Amino acid sequence: MILDGKCPSGPLSLKWDKHRQDLKLVNPANKRKYKIIVVGTGLAGASAAATLGELGYNVEVFCYQDSGRRAHSIAAQGGINAAKNYPNDGDTVYRLFYDTVKGGDFRAREANVYRLAAISNQIIDQCVAQGVPFARDYAGYLENRSFGGAQVSRTFYARGQTGQQLLLGAYAALSRQIHAGSVKLYPRTEMLDLVIVNGEAKGITVRDLVSGQISSHAADAVCLCTGGYSNVFYLSTNAMGSNTTAIYRAYKKGAYFANPCFTQIHPTCIPVTGDHQSKLTLMSESLRNDGRVWAPKKQGDTRHPSEIPEDERDYYLERKYPSFGNLAPRDISSRAAKEVCDEGRGVGPGARGVYLDFGDAIKRFGKEKIQERYGNLFDMYKKITDEDAYAQPMRIYPAPHYTMGGLWVDYNLQSNIPGLFVLGEANFSDHGANRLGASALMQGLADGYFVIPYTIADYLARTSLGKITTDNAEFKKSKDETESFTRKLLSINGKKTVNEFHRELGRIMWEYAGMARNEEGLEKALRLIPQLKAEFWENVKVVGSGTELNQELEKAGRVADFLEFAELFVLDALQRKESCGGHFREEYQMPDGEAKRDDENFRYVAAWEFKGEGKEPDLHKEPLEFENVHLAVRSYK
């Protein structure tokens, strides 16, 4: 089946304007008659709920955290991209568009990416108006810094806590709508199922995480804004609660899952120190503006970094990628770090690390200027490692971070299920096979503030108003199935904890489907994961009951989904017989070790359709056409 992304016709720069003109509208007086469910309160969810509430719709928004402002978007550090060209260094909307398409290794839709670049400037204006405290230069203008994959400075930032400040802006807008009565917030509430009535998304089934009560909510449309699935690797930079449940259960109800194997490995994370860890900590990519990445030239060199002279250091990113140096894109920088460590030149415990050195920058600018730019990141590093990064280099190593795959959506951000819209990291649409740094915040806010208000109105204007209620048989069926699933988890009473299964799944995924993949390893993973899943359903121990606060039960449901999703992930990686972006197949590489794409056979979005338990999913393809950029070997040398 060939999928249609429903991209508008006409010149690239005019597609979105033309499309908005063609979309149907909902009369302002009629908006209050419609109800929209938003799941998730990160940047995409909070901005969408606030905007839709401001427009007059009745909005119900759900999050499993105790406060909407504790969504994982708050952890984003480095910045948000926009093509304002304030530094006057040659940036344009087209250049941001091109860098994003190239950064994604030509595996994203041109139309979606151009719209994102064009909207980027509006996002900055919106956030400034909300009071987001972006860094400013000596004259009071907004400051910019550089990020990987670009030769211009286009990243707006608030020290190393940009995500937190942007989310507080969106949360303030959301809170205003909650106070006004247009939005109702359900915290500590987890979505466990999508309800489909007559082929359209008409509601969700949720569990109150405090009381354990399972209930259903009906609406005229549903927006999923629930983030990515990087915790399938167990250890990742994501919050421990981040999961795939909402989008995976929507997939099991018929929503196509696109490019699940496209995951990003972030090059600047604090290295793993032992099995006691439950997550990893990110050090912002912005640090590579002033920090230089290096490793010893000699194998097994265990000297303190201050004892290794300059001529015995290998600044390998500067050596291999002179045009971009330490700001090479994340996928390339991550593989380069792995190669160094595989050669026996890694540093720190287990020799799985490289140095990020600020010595030269401190000499050039002074310690106070580096503190001003990155102080909270240095403080965080000190608390975790007990090392002073002003006095000696940070140790970093790649780790799972962002996921480019997600539910398939068309240009309107609507999935193949009518009425189901997917925003932010939960969809696949904008980043191809690799996301450039500082583009996640840009996409989340673009989708929530500036895209979904137009496209969801078009859907609502074409659908019957509010005829479906929770009295419908599909809601009762969904609730019964959810309760049965919960009882099944509680009844197993095995001997292994949920965390033990999750950790073992993570080891399999990192070993065979992590930074580098090959056919033999992926096939082995497809044998090991079903075995682990079978053991889970026979031997997991979930204490407590379903009628109370029970975090073990929450984790068990999420890990059960990860165990199923991991098979889909590996299947997707196995069928994509090429290397592109974060998907690196060892069999498909250039003579110099760079990724080798196969545009003739794999220039498509892989969208998977669930066909039932124990059955292999169907693969649907959306061809990717490049009319405005030239398909080229992706080089940063």
Q: Which amino acid is at 235?
A: L
Q: For the CA atoms of 51, 245, 330, 81, what is the dihedral angle to 10 degrees?
A: 0
User: Which position among 70, 207, 292, 330 bears the catalytic label?
Assistant: 330
> CA-CA-CA-CA torsion for 606, 611, 616, 621, nearest 10 degrees?
-20
Calculate the alpha carbon distances from 532 to 40, 409, 523, 529 in Å: 30, 31, 15, 5
Pairing mode of beta strands 35-39, 58-62: parallel
3-state secondary structure 104-123: CCCCCCHHHHHHHHHHHHHH
Contact 452, 52 (CB under 8 A): yes
Active site residue 364: no
Q: Which strand ranges, in their side-by-side order, compose the sheet holding 200-208? A: 189-197, 200-208, 214-218
User: What residues pair up with 414 in beta bridges, in sequence order?
Assistant: 421
CA-to-CA distance for 124 and 142, rounded, in angstroms? 10
Residue 190 contacts residue 207 (beta carbons within 8 Å): yes
Element at 533 (helix H, strand E): helix 519-539
Angle at CA 434, nearest 5°, toward 611 and 254? 15
**CA-based diameter of the chain, in Å?**
74
DSSP 157-173: -STT-HHHHHHHHHHHH
Residue showing tokens 């304030």: 86
Q: Do the Cβ atoms of 413 and 427 come closer than 8 Å?
A: yes
The Cβ of residue 50 has, within 10 Å, a number of other Cβ atoms equal to 29
Best CA proximity match to 522, nearest among 610, 587, 465, 581: 587
Task: With H, G, I as helix, E, B as strand and everything else as coil, classify residue 568.
Answer: helix
Residue 532 CA from chain centroid, whole number: 26
DSSP-derived 3-state class of residue 297: coil
Query: What amino acid positions are annotated as catalytic residues?
Result: 330
